[in-house]
Structure formats: C-alpha cells, structure tokens
Amino acid sequence: MDQRMNVLIEFLMKGEMESPKIYMSKFAIFILTCCCVLNGVTAYSTQNSHQSPPSYYEDYGACPFECCTYRRWIVKSDTIFYKQRSTSSPVVFSAKKGDPVTGLTGVVITLKPGEVRIKKATTLGEGGRKVSVKVGDVLYLLRYEGEGIYKFWFHGRIYADYMPSSPNDTGDEHMQMLSEPQTIWWVKVKNRRGQIGWSKQADHFDNMDACG
C-alpha cells in the first residue's frame, strides 16, 4: 500500500505546474484512490476479526480439571498404551489395575467447540487478556479448565473465564450455554521399565488430583 501511495503523491506533485483545472482533476483522483485503499484495509481487518472458529484444536500440556497434575499415578483399570495418539498405532505396553505409572504430559483435543450466546453486554477474560462482548455475540468453547472456567475463542483470539455449567444452566444473566465442547484427552505415560505410551482413557488413573 505504501508504494501505491508514493506513486500517487509523485503523480500529484508533477501536476503542480499544470493548469488549475487539470491539477484539481488529478487531486480529485488522488482523494478517491486514497478512500478506496483505506476502505480495502478496513474490509480486510473486519474480515480477519470475524474469521471462523477452529473446528479442531489441540492444547498441549493441558490438564483439564481443578488441581489436575501430571505425576505418579495408579492404574485403576487395565489399560493399553499406544506409540502415537491413535488406537491404530502400535501398542507399546499395557498396565494392570494397581500398577504405578508416571503421567508425563497430555493433549486435550477439541473435536467440536461448544457455544455460548451473550444475553447481556459484559467484559470477559482473565488477567490482562480481556474482551468486551455484546448481546448476540457467540463464544466458542474449546475446553474446560476447572472451577467453572472454560477456555474460549472469540474473533480470532483465545480467552478464559467462568461459563454456565451446561445448557440447562439458565441462571447466568449475561450468557447462555448452547452446547458443550466435544473433547478427547490423551495422556502420555511412562511405566517402571521406562516405556512411554499414549492413552485416551484418562479415567483409568488415580492420584491425578493434587487437591484430593
């Protein structure tokens, strides 16, 4: 855009020695072109701010509930661990009920975002990352973080704040949950022999809650 503006300015300055009528015609063309360029920039910015929400989202290192901790876990049910985050991947090892393992990390995958509709204008977000929302805006929920807080997407950016607990929760005056996010939680685990594998059966482990 800067290069185009420089060309137009040079074009305009060359006309200073021409008749007033010709110069004014060039000046009018210059003003009209500037307006078109600025309108194009505004349209691009507006389009960017209303881009579509992610249809698939991966949150590496996430531990999706209050006091959730990756540490020494105890297997509650027999579990198979895979080389990759896929049940069609080769099996690395299996663990039986009562076996100790170490939870190394995990990935919460959002297969379909949930939706929350704003009923009353408010400001949402934690810390220095806040956003103002108005009536009719839709927030796209990515995953639950714990203590009623959800990570959500809005106009190309990600925030976190308290949300209604379910679509049946109608007590919040500012917003209404339309649907919950559909997520899978894969955990990366190491056994006593040093073998490392993945499982999406995160409910097969005990001692994940540091507050419990």
Reported as a single tens digit per residue, the pLDDT across 89-126 is 999 999 999 999 999 999 999 999 999 999 999 999 99
More confident residue, 181 or 48: 181
Q: What's the pLDDT score for residue 32?
A: 52
Instruction: Supply the range of the domain harboring residue 29.
Output: 2-49
Q: What tokens does 10 get?
A: 């040079």
Identity (one letter) of the amino acid at 147? E
Could you tell me the pLDDT band of residue 8, with boundaries at 50, 70 and 90?
Answer: very low
Residue 141 belongs to a domain: yes
Q: For the chain, first and last CA: distance in Å?
A: 59
Domain shared by 24 and 67, yes or no:
no
Q: What's the pLDDT score for residue 197?
A: 99
pTM, entire model: 0.74
Q: Return d(Cα 99, Cα 67) in angstroms, integer.
A: 22
| Mean of pLDDT over the chain | 85
For 151, other C-beta atoms within 10 Å of its C-beta total 21
Residue 156 belongs to a domain: yes
Domain shared by 93 and 10, yes or no:
no
Longest Cα–Cα distance in the chain: 94
Residue 118 belongs to a domain: yes
Q: Which whole-number Å values give the CA distances from 188 to 24, 81, 89, 98, in the listed order?
A: 71, 9, 14, 18
Domain shared by 94 and 138, yes or no:
yes
Residue 140 belongs to a domain: yes
Domain shared by 104 and 148, yes or no:
yes
Least confident stretch, 19-33, 141-155, 168-182? 19-33
Domain shared by 29 and 96, yes or no:
no
Total count of domains within the chain: 2
Least confident stretch, 34-38, 47-51, 194-198? 34-38
Q: What is the DSSP string of 87-127?
A: TTSPEEEEE-TT-EEEEEEEEEEEEE-EEEEESS-EEEEET
Domain shared by 42 and 64, yes or no:
no
Q: What's the pLDDT score for residue 132?
A: 98
